[in-house]
Amino acid sequence: MEIRPIAYYRGPLTEKFGTPRQAGLVPDLAGTVEFCEGFEPAMLDGLEGFDYIWLIWGFSMNNPDAAPSSKVRPPRLGGNEKMGVFATRSPYRPNPLGLSSVRLAGIDAAAGRLQVLGADLVDGTPIYDIKPYIVYADSHPDARSGFASEAPGKALKVVWEDPSVRDENLEAILSLDPRPAYHDDPSRIYGLTYNGRNIRFRIAGNVLTVLRD
């Protein structure tokens, strides 16, 4: 079977570092799904009746030379313990496909665009399919979730050297601690790109300081 993108995601984050590790962790993070050539507005008829949709997408930023492994080191476990790839959401899988539930915030069928909130995707991510989220079939609130049974807390307090540039969604992203689990160097300066801005920060203890430009 050969599949091709039907759309691409457009959003404020352009690299893996700093992108939320799961959908919904930054619920107001806005993005757009832009459909490719061949889209027909009729494809979206009825979608306005759903609050959430599933995006089936590709890990387009994978190293093309990296082969999938049967066991991986989930960041949730500190990067020190291995789990079977099918017990994780690692990007390096037999087929590099991701699945994200996002809030549907708007539909512009004429322009071939969907407005979505809470995606865990980088700008330019290919979308291969879209399906409606159905509560009775897709929600299992009492289900076990293995080593990821608890949602990550917002562990870091974010301080802005220049409060005039504070951005609530960026602050939510940073509060989740984008560092690899094994990093703990208060002198190290990190950087990520957000909405075209180069954001630099350092972390000491549970305080993340966004540095002045």
Predicted pLDDT at 154: 61
DSSP secondary structure string for all residues of 170-188 = HHHHHHT--S-TT---TTP
**Residue 27 token pair:** 């619920």
Distance from C-alpha of 213 to C-alpha of 206, rounded to nearest angstrom: 22
| Residue 213, pLDDT above cutoff 90 | no
Predicted pLDDT at 65: 82
**Residue 87 token pair:** 């017990």
Question: Which one-letter amino acid corresponds to residue 64?
Answer: P
Segments making up each domain of the chain, as ranges: 7-138, 157-210
| Residue 5, pLDDT above cutoff 70 | yes
What CATH fold (topology level) applies to the domain 7-138? Elongation Factor Tu (Ef-tu); domain 3 (2.40.30)
User: 19 falls in which pLDDT band (50, 70, 90)?
Assistant: very high
**Residue 30 token pair:** 């806005």
Residue from 118, 117, 120, 119 nearest 91 by CA: 120
Q: What is the pTM of this model?
A: 0.91
**Residue 125 token pair:** 């991510």
Q: Show the CA angle centred on residue 78, arms to residues 75 and 79, nearest 5°.
A: 65
For 113-168, what is each residue's pLDDT tens digit? Answer: 999 999 999 999 999 999 999 999 999 999 998 888 777 766 899 999 999 999 99
